Structure 1
């Protein structure tokens, strides 16, 4: 039976039991239960496990070194689900203490399986949203990496911070404006659209795009911004026509 097949009270009891089991493992320098939860087929069990790791890390300072050592050992697992959950656990810690877990992202970004790499993207999003300075400084190092997938993943990963503070990520996005790889270019245009439909964001994005040299890419981005205001019309501050008019009046 899957996690969400259980009644609410049983789900809450299971989450508490997972956290308690993980706490016991960490306190006794064991990984039996942690391995079990980190490798579970149910993504929500794995999520409960990595959320528990994050909470235990900050609730028990005496266990912080043990947590990091445990994650390092598990990161060598051949099971991609375990490596994925290690990265997600590191992402929870990195919301406040990125320096302690940076090594997991340095390595996970190059994992041979897509699931751990996707966990890196998701973690960059959630860490960058609340702990932007060290996370964005780290991300900048990979903007011109020789591997196009690394560049694309970094571009995608910094998106969430841009939805509330586009000024923080626009300088990084601008560094990608001349990237010749189609997948990177499409992701860049997508991210520009995603950070432009929240309150106060289209003004910042459009003003910044006026300074970009690649006018062909900018034209695509402006079209994407207009289109996003239709696709996300239930969440956008402006209507599509208002967004179109704003761009026509303010982008020269």
Structure 2
């Protein structure tokens, strides 16, 4: 039975069971036992597993070495479910202690399966939001990687930090304005739009775009910014007309 087919009471019981089971597996050095939940086809079971491991690392410092060893042993597994769950668990740890899990992201970025690479993006988002300095420093080294997908994934991964602290990532995004790959530039435009509709961000984004030199990327970003204020009108701080007026004030459109 899938996780959300269970009643709320049964879900609580199952979460407690998974927490206890994984702690016992880590403590006893039986990393293969973790596969029971790390390799479950249910997304929410795997999520419960990686959250459990992340909490275990934070709550019990005496088990930190064992947690990391467990994840290291599971990372090469042939199941992408397992590798995805390992990366997500590392992301939970990296919110507080990025340096000890950096290698998981160095590996995950180049994983053959998109689900694992997506787990890297998601983890960079959540880590960058609360532990930005080491995460963004790590991300910078891949901004100009020869693989276009790596550049695109890094661009996407730093997005969440920009929604509250746009100036932390706008200089990094600017480095991609002349990227030769349309897919990377499209992601760049998307990320700029996702930042711009958040509270207090539009003016900062527009002022920064004034310093950019690629007119096609800037034009695409402005179109996206105006459009996103309609697509996300229930969440945007400004109306689309207000956003359009502000864009015109900066760019005399």
Instruction: Please give the range of the TM-score, normalised by the shorter of the 2 chains.
Output: over 0.9
Measure, in 1, the Cα distance between the counterparts of 2:58 and 2:238. 40
* Aligned residues of 1:3 and 1:44 also touching (Cα < 8 A): yes
1:46-85 paired onto structure 2 within 5 Å: 46-85=46-85
Measure, in 1, the Cα distance between the counterparts of 2:167 and 2:51. 30
- Aligned partner of 1:139 in structure 2 is 139
- Aligned partner of 1:241 in structure 2 is 241
State the 1:251 CA deviation.
Answer: 2.7
Q: What secondary structure is seen at the aligned counterpart in 2 of 1:46?
A: helix
State the 1:35 CA deviation.
Answer: 1.1
- Aligned partner of 2:150 in structure 1 is 150
Measure, in 1, the Cα distance between the counterparts of 2:26 and 2:33. 10
Measure, in 1, the Cα distance between the counterparts of 2:215 and 2:26. 54
Measure, in 2, the Cα distance between the counterparts of 1:231 and 1:114. 27
State the 1:20 CA deviation.
Answer: 0.3
* Aligned residues of 2:87 and 2:108 also touching (Cα < 8 A): yes
- For 1:101-138, what per-residue CA distance to the aligned partner results, in whole angstroms no more than 9, with x for missing partners? 00000011000111111100000011011111100000
* Aligned residues of 1:195 and 1:201 also touching (Cα < 8 A): yes
- Aligned partner of 1:42 in structure 2 is 42
Identify unmatched segments of 5+ residues in structure 2: none
- Aligned partner of 2:227 in structure 1 is 227
Deviates more, 1:94-103 or 1:25-34: 25-34
- Aligned partner of 2:12 in structure 1 is 12
TM-score by length of 2: 0.98
State the 1:216 CA deviation.
Answer: 1.5
State the 1:177 CA deviation.
Answer: 0.3
- Aligned partner of 2:164 in structure 1 is 164
State the 1:180 CA deviation.
Answer: 1.5
* Aligned residues of 1:207 and 1:251 also touching (Cα < 8 A): no
Measure, in 1, the Cα distance between the counterparts of 2:150 and 2:32. 33
Q: Where has structure 1 moved over 2 Å in runs of 4 or more? A: none
1:150-229 paired onto structure 2 within 5 Å: 150-229=150-229
- For 1:90-111, what per-residue CA distance to the aligned partner results, in whole angstroms no more than 9, with x for missing partners? 0000001000000000011000
- Aligned partner of 2:123 in structure 1 is 123
- For 1:60-100, what per-residue CA distance to the aligned partner results, in whole angstroms no more than 9, with x for missing partners? 11100000011000001111110000000000000010000
Measure, in 2, the Cα distance between the counterparts of 1:181 and 1:76. 31
Residues paired across the two proteins, number: 252
- Aligned partner of 1:26 in structure 2 is 26
Q: CA RMSD in A?
A: 0.7
Measure, in 2, the Cα distance between the counterparts of 1:98 and 1:77. 22
State the 1:172 CA deviation.
Answer: 0.6
